[in-house]
A and B are shown apart, each in its own frame.
Chain A
């Protein structure tokens, strides 16, 4: 007998005392918890996102869509970056003011090559205000997971209020589990030394989030 059959057989024997119950799953579990915490307007939700991002040491900037190229140029220059990784579908206008070598992530690029790049600029799929989380789903403006991992400086552009939701349940509703997803809440950190939080281990040690209003594709969140 294969181990698969052995394990499944053991499970069935172990559950011999459990009575048969064919209630469909969506009726079997009562979900009495909240869909979001608190009662906020759209503006307040964006403010909460900014506050919680900053609380976990992300650097938060706010601007309009006209100001975005200037803000990105200033952030990259201010850091002294010499090169910037660019996902394939990043809107060209975003980096219009940036005069730095742009590195494309190709299928055959090695991690060592990506390690030579100073910064990366991406969009995001959704941002969750209550937890200060941005989620990347590998869309063309975000690229492969590794490009936001190996460089030490990540600038993430969030379209507000269109990409912002209040809560984790609302965030999951917007995401597609078939895409590779990365949830990011502040820069890399550890609590491994005396259970004290220290920022900056293997992922980007600097996370900058630019909240941009007025970009196309905006709709008011529920």
Chain B
């Protein structure tokens, strides 16, 4: 994935720093609580939400189970409609394809629609190194780009910034990139949006190359769909002469009709709206007489770890994700730690299961992500495609601790158990031995009951980190099995 996040510390360390940042916590608390209540209301408006969610899940599962067929069908449809399809096995190949396409136009700047796929592959940094300036045009992406910052939310990458900080960034940085911020800019959201409108307008009007992702690709028709709010997407998709869309292979839907599910569930789950302000749909290019929009259209399909994820029978459900970010907004861990601690463009609960699958669990951050959760399940409950995130988290924890067979870059490899979990493995081995030796278990339980007055209240050594904020469970005066025998299962005397 992107080089932007290389060398990130493990989640606990990064989160520890983040929770001490009171501005960040205030900003996140305000934003996530606002959107949580709105989303709940938007979902209640549709009486068949459960049926829509189930249909969304089934459509996505069906597509993933026949992905090879639908990829080939999509390629045919897009080609027939006048587009050109490129295939990229990894981030580097995708970046090179896009760079070559831009260079072939002779242009040295591009305008971009917010896209998770291009963030994932680190496209902007790659283009910059090749002398091509990529301008982000989504308001939040602009804030991140001008602030030389990293995104911290899928939908609202600058969620960690409040209005005052945004005003300061605009005032300080806009002149470096183009039209400066208006004199005396205040921190009211309407004025900040106006400043972005003025700053980006000249870039839209002169742009010759646009780069986008896509929310959906329809295999039967070759139609691409981009869902947005501001109109920056429409600008990038219609004004340039060349359009390059970089899309993950899992973003396919088989038929036009399938949109009827996702165009109902996505806006309500992401921005809590009945419908987002703008949705653009295009199928290849249009003929010259009535030409509307770019004359040249390239679709770059990227794998970059998706087929490895698909090979995991439990983990593959993560590929159903439609990037709505509802799971981030309800997550108690995300709300406190913020998005940067996840060390990936995909933060929050979905990031905790997606990043370690797309990138593997070799690095410290990726091995720690399956633990960045209390397993409370709120993410599963709000997910519009019913991804059982807690199930995948537990599955990935097993993989980290025990190792085992996984697919990496298309090849099956056997992972060794991760370092740092030796004590856990020893404890589990001891438990297995005790539970398969009833005599030893009984003796141990009786001993524990008799010595209970002498038990410490906190654990020694590394265990103190756990018991520092929790009470150790009290050992009962009598083991359960002794009580059961003595009282004939509670029917006899005493209690």
Contacts and interface: CB of A to CB of B under 8 A. Distances in A.
A98 B105 CA distance: 43
B158 A177 contact: no
A190 B274 contact: no
Interface in A72-100: none
Contact of A196 (B189, B230, B257): B189
Contacts of A202: 137, 197, 200-201, 204, 230-232, 234-235
Contacts of B190: 198, 200
Interface stretch (B282-290, B341-349, B441-449, B479-487): B282-290
A177 B283 contact: yes
A182 B301 contact: no
Contact of A31 (B55, B72, B232): B55
B55 A33 contact: yes
A185 interface: yes
Contacts of A44: none
Contact of A194 (B31, B93, B254): B31
Contacts of A189: 229-230, 277
Residue of B201, B231, B256, B279 with highest tally of chain A CB at under 10 A: B231
B260 A29 contact: no
A70 interface: no
Contacts of A201: 139, 193, 196-197, 229-232
Interface in A1-53: 2-4, 6-15, 17-18, 21, 25, 28-34, 37, 52
B283 A203 contact: no
A37 B52 CA distance: 12
A169 interface: yes
Contacts of A132: 274-275
A194 B310 contact: no
A172 B260 contact: yes
B478 interface: no
Interface in B357-416: 407, 410
Interface string B119-140: 0000000000000000001111
Nearest to A172: B260
Interface stretch (A59-67, A144-152, A156-164, A210-218): A144-152
A177 B238 contact: no
A189 to B, nearest CB: 5
Contacts of B274: 52, 56, 130-132, 185
Q: Which 10 A-B pairs have the closest CB atoms?
A: A203-B231, A202-B231, A14-B311, A10-B307, A131-B275, A201-B230, A183-B279, A192-B140, A33-B51, A185-B275
Interface residues of B, number: 102
A111 B202 CA distance: 10
B407 A107 contact: no
Interface stretch (B58-66, B332-340, B424-432): B58-66
A195 B31 contact: yes
Given A11-B71, A30-B54, A200-B197, 9 more contacts: A2-B87, A10-B410, A11-B68, A15-B67, A25-B255, A115-B201, A131-B275, A146-B239, A183-B279
Contacts of B232: 201-202
A169 B276 CA distance: 16
A197 B293 CA distance: 28
A168 interface: yes
Interface residues of A, number: 73
B186 interface: no
A201 B194 CA distance: 6
Nearest to A4: B87
Interface stretch (B10-18, B159-167, B469-477): B159-167
B232 to A, nearest CB: 5
21 contacts: A10-B308, A14-B308, A14-B311, A52-B274, A111-B205, A144-B292, A146-B293, A149-B234, A168-B275, A180-B281, A180-B282, A182-B280, A182-B281, A183-B275, A183-B281, A191-B35, A191-B156, A192-B230, A198-B190, A202-B231, A203-B231
Contact of B55 (A32, A112, A145, A179): A32
B143 interface: yes
B230 A190 contact: yes
A186 interface: yes
A25 B61 CA distance: 12
A221 B228 CA distance: 29
Nearest to B65: A18
A173 to B, nearest CB: 8
B281 A177 contact: yes
Nearest to B114: A192
A138 interface: yes
B192 interface: yes
A170 B318 CA distance: 30
A17 B313 contact: yes
Interface in B69-103: 71-72, 75, 81, 87-89, 93
A8 B68 contact: yes
A195 B35 contact: yes
Contacts of B32: 195
B310 A14 contact: yes
B279 A182 contact: yes
Interface string B238-261: 110000000001000011110111
Nearest to B187: A193
B303 A133 contact: no
A9 B410 contact: yes
A94 to B, nearest CB: 21
A194 B164 CA distance: 11
A115 B47 CA distance: 43
Contacts of B288: 107
A187 B197 CA distance: 14
Contact of A10 (B234, B263, B303, B316): B303
A181 B292 CA distance: 10
A7 B290 CA distance: 36
A198 B139 CA distance: 12
